Amino acid sequence: MNDKLAAPKGVPEYLPPESATWLAIKDFLSQQAVLAGYGYIELPVFEDTALYVRGVGESTDVVSKEMYTFTDRGGRSLTLRPEGTAGVMRSVIEHHLDRGQLPVKLWYAGPFFRAERPQLGRYRQLQQFGVEAIGSDDPALDAEVVTIADRGYRALGLTGYRLEITSLGCAQCRPAYREKLVAFLEGLDLDEETRQRARINPLRVLDDKRPEVIAQMADAPLMLDHLCESCAEHFGEVRALLEAHGTAYVLNPRMVRGLDYYTRTCFEFVHDGLGAQSGIGGGGRYDGLMSELGGQELSGIGFGLGLDRALLACQVEGLTPGPTTPLDVYVVPLGAARRQAALLVGELRAAGLRTDQVFGERGLKGAMKAADRSGAPFVVVLGERDLEAGVAQLKTMSTGEQVPVPLTDLAAYLTTSLSTRTENHQ
Ligand code: HAM
């Protein structure tokens, strides 16, 4: 077989050194959920197809066009998870997590699968970090969830994004609003395809990007102006709490989310530097989802932040969160010092220093070249004569300066040097 193997179309891979930034992004974002008391949940990557049909909604693009569905050897229809919320809900119901303390607060991270047309920032295997908080409709929980995402982005150093929020109303006020919108749409001059879209979900016409549709939709009725008293009060409180948290937002009353389960508070984080795929994260409240999936009548709220897009946003803003070097120290043994060097490498790693060494017979010149390419800021050269004297030569790569350091002090010496180095970098 001569065909070259390649990763499937639309599936990104993250290789060193970029993958260190990838891991750091996941850590920085999820740290905010840990700080707010969310517990980690590891979920199946595939589930019964029915879960997504019932949970996400048959009329959505995600379910009708983008699912990776297959029949297993037992004849069951399974689907690679296109999103995380339905799976979390299924697990909470199945394992009775909703019978304990409420709200149940969970976070997750990993790959999701959507058969979309690939382009920069839009992938068939995408990764998300997400949270779900189930069992309370307190607006304080809405503000907490939104703020966790915002704090996470800030911790990465991102500034070129905005938070858009709206309220989609509830089972009380949405049907009447929907009727109003349908009546309004009937009076417009829309092409058949748009009418078809409107029949499935009239709200989708609100975020149509074509100028001729935008112009006609200028006076369309908006959900925000038709909220019932209780939704209006809820949304007002969410806004006041976001302001109290110092979480800046703009209202986007025309926001349309791609999944059917949303009610009340909905939000999206939009980055201006990413072109067409500008949504770096989004979420909202989903008051009917749990009962739809056979559980109690409990409400919930959560978000999914696109990790692939967060990485792109960091690249656009010139940010590299996480360690600035792939290694702390690189060890170069000379001649018969190899076994001693192996011991030293072990000791340095045990002291928490990211340590690697040269492998193979390289000679001093080749070994120093390898040391240089390793990216470690410090190199330890261990020769036979130094060993007899109980020292190693420590070279600082940025200055080229080399000093003998007693082997017994080496780990402590390096730890101190690295911490002053980090301080100088900050
Ligand atoms: P979503 O808006 O479909 O929501 O996806 C969340 C984020 O995942 C998007 O904002 C985007 O950054 C990223 N994303 C989605 N599709 C792709 C793709 N094809 N390629 C790259 N990134 C992508 C959800 O999935 C909901 N489950 C979020 C949620 C949780 N709502 C409540 N709880």
Question: What would the mean pLDDT of 216-221 be, rounded to a whole number?
Answer: 94
CATH fold group of domain 329-425:
Rossmann fold (3.40.50)
Q: Enter the DSSP assignment of 381.
A: E
C-alpha distances out from residue 382 to 359, 396, 412, Å: 14, 15, 17
* CA of residue 363 to ligand 1 center, whole Å: 52
Residue 405, judged by CB atoms within 10 A of its CB (0-12, 13-18, 19+), counts as middle
> Ligand 1, residues 128, 261, 263, 286: which to mutate, most atoms within 8 A of Cβ?
128
User: What local confidence, expressed as pLDDT, does residue 423 receive?
Assistant: 65
Among protein residues, the one with the nearest Cα to ligand 1's atom 6 is 304
Indicate which atom in ligand 1 lies nearest the CA of residue 268: 10
Residue range 14-41, pLDDT digits in tens: 999 999 999 999 999 999 999 999 999 9
Among protein residues, the one with the nearest Cα to ligand 1's atom 2 is 282
User: What local confidence, expressed as pLDDT, does residue 362 receive?
Assistant: 85
> Ligand 1, residues 14, 47, 81, 126: which to mutate, most atoms within 8 A of Cβ?
126
- Contact present, 147 and 247 (Cβ < 8 Å): yes
- Contact present, 83 and 262 (Cβ < 8 Å): no
**Could you tell me the pLDDT band of residue 237, with boundaries at 50, 70 and 90?**
very high
Q: Is the pLDDT at 396 greater than 70, yes or no?
A: yes
Class of the CATH domain delimited by 18-173+227-316:
alpha beta
Question: With a 6 A CB cut-off, is 122 part of the ligand 1 pocket?
Answer: yes
Domains 18-173+227-316 and 329-425 equal at CATH topology level: no
User: What local confidence, expressed as pLDDT, does residue 201 receive?
Assistant: 86
Indicate which atom in ligand 1 lies nearest the CA of residue 286: 32
Question: With a 6 A CB cut-off, is 281 part of the ligand 1 pocket?
Answer: yes
Q: Measuring CA to CA, which residue among 266, 97, 79 is closest to residue 166?
A: 266
> Ligand 1, residues 117, 259, 301: which to mutate, most atoms within 8 A of Cβ?
259
Q: Taking the model in full, what pTM does it have?
A: 0.94
Question: With a 6 A CB cut-off, is 169 part of the ligand 1 pocket?
Answer: no
Q: Is the pLDDT at 78 greater than 60, yes or no?
A: yes
Indicate which atom in ligand 1 lies nearest the CA of residue 114: 19
* CA of residue 215 to ligand 1 center, whole Å: 28
Q: Where are the domains of the chain?
A: 18-173+227-316, 329-425
Among protein residues, the one with the nearest Cα to ligand 1's atom 20 is 122
Indicate which atom in ligand 1 lies nearest the CA of residue 62: 3
